[in-house]
Amino acid sequence: METFIEILKAIFIGIVQGITEWLPVSSTGHMIIANEFINLKVSEGCWDLFEVITQLGSILAVVILFFDKLNPWSKNKDEAMRKKTWSLWFKVVVAVLPAALIGLIFEDWLDKTFYKFVPVAIALVVYGVLFIVIERINKNKQMKYNDVYDIDYPTALKIGCFQVLSLIPGTSRSGSTILGASLVGVSRTAAAEFSFFLAIPVMLGASALKAFKAFVLDGITLSLTEIVVLIAGTLTAFIVSMVVIKFLMSFVRKHSFESFGWYRIALGIILVIYYIVKINI
């Protein structure tokens, strides 16, 4: 019975992960809330793994949904499209480099320093305001890049520099890249797609690094319940991500990101109120 309850908790958190990983609302902020109220009964090492391994399910959803677009060997592509696809992958690599380099050096320190209620809440509110302001500035603006293939190398690097901001918990990886892309003239649709593609090497690398630290350096072992919990959370994140990615791509064709900005502000305020109440009880 206890194992069944933990599986249900893992499924719920997997749902949270699958939704918030792709929407620009900060998966970290939501995972803090989920862990605060649901609290999986697993070891600290298992929870650290859970946060990262469930992302693999989310990444698999991107690979499947955009497989043809990302596959340079697709039979549906002529030679010109194959070259464009390879070029897109090289641009993704260029965009990943800034966050990868900074993350290797400072990620642990940033997590220890900012993975707390107040800093996460502040990041939620600040970036929520930025979403609203930037969307209103860009409302009638003609974007330079309307297709993800059109993004050039300098623009990809600029977006990658904005992705560095996502190392601060509460910022949102998709949020920082979409904001950055919007500021350098990329349309919402192309910005969302490029954000999805950037997630593939970033999250695969983070998962591999976390797993290496956990199993090789720290030598942790997982119980059968913990293994089942990891599998349940990852599968759930995959299924939910499939739905959410399709929703977001449909949403951004007709709507702005402003509503996500207001949501972030509301969530940040709720986190602050909860923290104040918690420390005064």
User: Burial level of 81, CB count in 10 A (0-12/13-18/19+)?
Assistant: middle
Token code pair at residue 254: 């007709």
- Roughly what angle, to the nearest 10 degrees, separates helices 188-212 and 224-252? 170
- In the chain (281 residues long), the average pLDDT of successive 10-residue segments reads 85 92 86 79 80 86 92 89 94 92 82 82 92 86 89 95 87 88 91 92 80 77 88 94 93 88 92 84 70
Distance of CA 115 to the CA centre of its chain: 15
- Cα dihedral sign, 143-83-69-88: negative
- Give the pLDDT confidence score for residue 247 in this predicted structure: 93
Our measurement of the distance from residue 134's CA atom to the centroid of its chain's CA atoms, rounded to an integer in Å, reads 20
**What value, to the nearest 5°, has the Cα angle with vertex 278 and ends 277 and 280?**
65
* CA 235 to each of CA 24, 129, 193: distance values in angstroms, whole numbers, following the listed order: 22, 34, 22
pLDDT at 42: 81
Angle of CA points 236, 63, 93, to nearest 5°: 125
CB 217 within 8 A of CB 169: no
Q: Which tokens belong to 279? A: 């420390």
Q: Tell me if 98 sits within 8 A of 164, measured CB to CB.
A: yes
Dist CA 177 CA 162 (whole Å):
6
**How many other CB atoms sit within 10 Å of the CB of residue 204?**
14
Three-state DSSP class for 248? helix
**Looking at residue 62, what is its pLDDT?**
93
Question: Are the C-beta atoms of 58 and 21 separated by less than 8 Å?
Answer: yes
pLDDT at 106: 83
Of 60, 15, 24, 68, nearest to 251 by C-alpha is 24
